[in-house]
Chains A and B, each alone.
Chain A
Amino acid sequence: MPGTAQSNPAAPHTNREVKVVAISPPPSIEQGPRSSEPHPAPPSGGAPLNPKHAGAALDWFNLFVANIQTGFGPFIAVYLASQSWTQTSIGLALSIGTVAAMASQVPAGALVDAIPNKTRVAAFSVLAFTACALMFAIYPIPLFVYLAEILHGLSSCTLGPATAAMSLVIAGRYGMGLRLGRNARYAAIGNGVGAALMGACGQYVSERAVFYLTAILTMPALIALLPLRKVAVARATPTGDAESLRGDTFKVLADRRLLIFCACAMLFTFTNAPLLMLVSGNMTAKVGNPSLLIAACIVLPQVIVALASPAAGRLADTRGRRLVLLLGFAALPLRAFIFATTSNPALVISVQALDGIGGAAFGVMMPLIVSDVAGRTRHFNLALGLIGFGVGIGGTLSTPAAGWLADHFGIRSAFYALTGVGLLATALVAFAMPETKPDPKAEGQ
């Protein structure tokens, strides 16, 4: 998705894009204090992790994963239409995918928490992507398509937390900001390159070839994981009985900071998701050659995210999370407002740069704040899943709502309504969201 840290390259703002794949920052062993906290434990077994290799490996992994996710977005509807599917069946397939992705956010987070070797989880998720791509490409009968949709939803929801957890293991809590920024940068590069590649493939070869290409691109992702295969988290021995364990989970999930941020994330995605869809539909109606312009609308924010994410992470580490959040959130109603007032293609494309700013900020802050709140607990991935679920709800509700508004009251009213929601989100961040940056002195490090 352009702008957001969700590694779904093609228009993350469509309703299918709400699969949150938390961008895990590349391991930041090479900078920041090597925290000596007991949890997570350093990688176990064998030679110690080479920091530079691990960092580069995670970078490439993020890039290729973002590449892979391009084909699984709204492009599936185009592909199935070319296979003579009826619109009803296509809608059903897409809904199954959305429901599967939403329903598996929280359980997948818990699953990733339970499995010590996060690299293994990531590897299996990528293998699942390969299977999905091949199911689409070779034999798109309903059974396989529904299966692939469910599998893809589940794998997206395990992959995000797994990469975030890998980063946390290697980065430590105090280096997460910059690392998450680097992760977002490489994911954005992967998004942009993936969109260009898949678009060209779909245009000049065939729609089916896009899925073959996706399957091929999963290989480099797996290879990138090889240096990281020893990354593991020592599972903290559960102390106490089942009662206290359940209480622990509840304590993490009910943390006020997490819940407020979940609400902010929901509102952000609610505003962000339909914007690209509305604007590009408008361009198709008005412009002679819309494909290139829409491609520019998708790729430009990715470029901005690639450029700005590490800076966002650094800023969050030095000046605090709230500042970055505010900047990113404020870009959103501004963008919606400008879209309401003009449909000049040149202006639209340049305003998409604001999408990049909002996306860089949100994409880096989302896993960062979760790691602030829950990084030391055993429920980091569960908390990630919770935020992902909120984002999913926001996105799933907003696209039909915006479409309905645009149908009945015109596209301008839809944009104004989205501006209002964006302002509400910004206000929530400004007045309710506390600062979550961990203070090393206060925590006795």
Chain B
Amino acid sequence: MNVTRIVSLMLTLMLLCACHSHPLKVETPAPPAALQPEPPTSEEEPAIPPPTATLPESTEIPPCLPVEAPARSPAKHHIKAPVAVSPEPQPVAPEAPTEASVKPVGMLPSVLGKRVHGPDGEDYGRVVDVLANVRGQVRLAVIEWGGFLGVGNRRIAVDWTLLRFPADPQDGLILEASKRELQSTPEYKDNDRAAALMAAPAQASPMPAASAAAPPAADTKK
């Protein structure tokens, strides 16, 4: 009888957990698809176009928006809505211009969990998080590397512009940094003392002046 009780308790616990399943993907609230000019993967597209990004031009997705392009400001507002970290949710105006529509986007792989390699193919770990600032610009990727069987893993934040996305989406990303630079970056902690490995100004892609003046969220080159 004791066994029966314990088994039924276990089953109840499992049922409770089943009711609270989390969605698998990133949990930021995504507005309904109809209201978005871009598909909900906009969070993962950098606001600053990486130099060797190869978004196929044949699809109907408009290319990534540079922040300062004034002609697209209504669309920019829509893009920011899903990733804005402002405290109150910004109600996206339903009476948006005709840009709001669902468009097919083809196969875009997730960034989370993607392998990262060095410039000469060395294994640098995986992307485990993507960080954006309040203006909706993706600024940093958090990479977890090192360790053995999960012991001794280390997380560091790197500048998004240091990542290169290869032509074949199944390949890993390329991080333009040396092993030594990775090791000298302090471990990433989600607090106000966070530090990230940033690209040197000369080696970064020609960033638009407006975004260069954007407040660097506690970025320091180490």
Contacts and interface: CB of A to CB of B under 8 A. Distances in A.
Nearest to A12: B151
Contacts of B179: 288
Nearest to A114: B2
Contacts of B129: 86-87
A195 B149 contact: yes
B150 A111 contact: no
B159 interface: no
Interface string A82-108: 111111110010001000000000010
A86 B2 contact: no
A70 B25 CA distance: 27
A298 B148 contact: yes
Contacts of A84: 24-25, 110, 112-113
B126 A89 contact: no
Given A14-B151, A284-B145, A285-B187, A142 B2 contact: no
Given A81-B113, A96-B17, A295-B148, A142 B183 contact: no
12 contacts: A11-B151, A74-B149, A78-B149, A78-B153, A81-B113, A82-B113, A111-B2, A142-B21, A143-B21, A154-B10, A281-B187, A291-B146
A114 B4 CA distance: 12
Given A83-B113, A107-B6, A285 B150 contact: no
A443 B110 CA distance: 67
Counting chain B residues whose Cβ lies within 8 A of the other chain, the interface size class is: 35 or more
Nearest to A89: B22
Nearest to B13: A150
A120 B31 CA distance: 52
Contacts of A89: 22, 24, 27
Contacts of A288: 179
B3 A111 contact: yes
Interface of A: 10-11, 14, 70, 73-78, 81-89, 92, 96, 107, 110-111, 114-115, 141-143, 146-147, 150, 154, 195, 198-199, 202, 276-277, 279-281, 283-286, 288, 290-292, 294-295, 298, 407
B124 to A, nearest CB: 12
Contacts of A85: 24, 112-113
Contacts of B14: 147, 150
A313 B80 CA distance: 65
B152 interface: yes
- Per CB-CB distance, the 6 closest pairs between chain A and chain B, nearest first, are A280-B152, A284-B146, A74-B150, A11-B151, A84-B113, A294-B148
Nearest to B113: A84
B147 interface: yes
Contacts of B152: 276-277, 279-281, 283-284, 290, 294
